[in-house]
Chains A and B, each alone.
Chain A
Amino acid sequence: MTTFQNSQSNGTHGSDDQGFGQRVDQIGSEAQHLWSNARSAVSDLGQTLDLKGRVERNPYGMMAAAIGVGYVLGGGLFTPLTGRILKLGVRLAMLPFVKDELMGMAEAALQGYQAGQSTMGGQSGVSGQGGAAGMGTSPRTGGPGNIS
């Protein structure tokens, strides 16, 4: 009687051990599979982002982008400092247009000034050449010459 019970119980324990071992093996293989999937996903993400290549091509830009990411993560997005930085950025972006406009205005003013100078020089030259003859005839020709 006892022998039967023992043999029966031994058989049951053996199948339990076998099932447990199979489960451990299955869990181990699944964990390995998960690990390999995670590694491949990380490597795929790394290849997609290509951080090394981007840093190689544009080191300062990537540093600025990383600082920006950290700034947003640190909660600095909706702060007055962000507003100031944006205002400064807009002003700096507008600077070339303003510079072109100012350069155009300065060139126009310079051309006008040079044209005025040449006109005045021509008039004074005329009055200077005909000074003796034209003094009595046209008193206004000496006017601009005196002003200049």
Chain B
Amino acid sequence: MEMNPQQIQDRAREFQERIVPQIDEARRNLVDMNHRMVSFIRANPGTCLVGAVALGFLIGKIASRR
């Protein structure tokens, strides 16, 4: 199965056209999630700080048991 350069180029373009929208959507989702997380942290700073300390405490406990 040999492919000439034109076929390889077409395949690459097709792959790009299929993948690029998915990457764009994933990027948009990540940006949206980041905005939501930052706004939640800013709205509830005490809760988030206490939760983060508790999470770190749990990680430290688990790490010290090993």
Contacts and interface: CB of A to CB of B under 8 A. Distances in A.
A100 interface: no
Interface string A55-88: 1100110111011111111111101111000000
Given A55-B48, A59-B41, A75 B64 contact: yes
Contact of A67 (B42, B56, B61): B56
Interface in B29-66: 37-38, 41-42, 45-46, 48-50, 52-64, 66
Given A55-B41, A80-B66, A74 B52 contact: no
Given A55-B41, A56-B42, A59-B41, A70 B57 contact: yes
Contacts of A68: 56
Interface centre among A51, A52, A76, A79 (most CB of B within 10 A): A76
A67 B53 CA distance: 5
A contacts with B: majority SS: helix
Contacts, number: 88
Contacts of B41: 55, 59-60, 62-63
Given A55-B41, A76-B64, A70 B48 contact: no
Given A74-B57, A80-B66, A82-B63, 19 more contacts: A60-B41, A63-B48, A63-B49, A66-B48, A66-B53, A67-B52, A68-B56, A69-B53, A70-B53, A70-B54, A70-B57, A70-B58, A71-B56, A74-B56, A74-B58, A75-B60, A75-B64, A76-B61, A81-B63
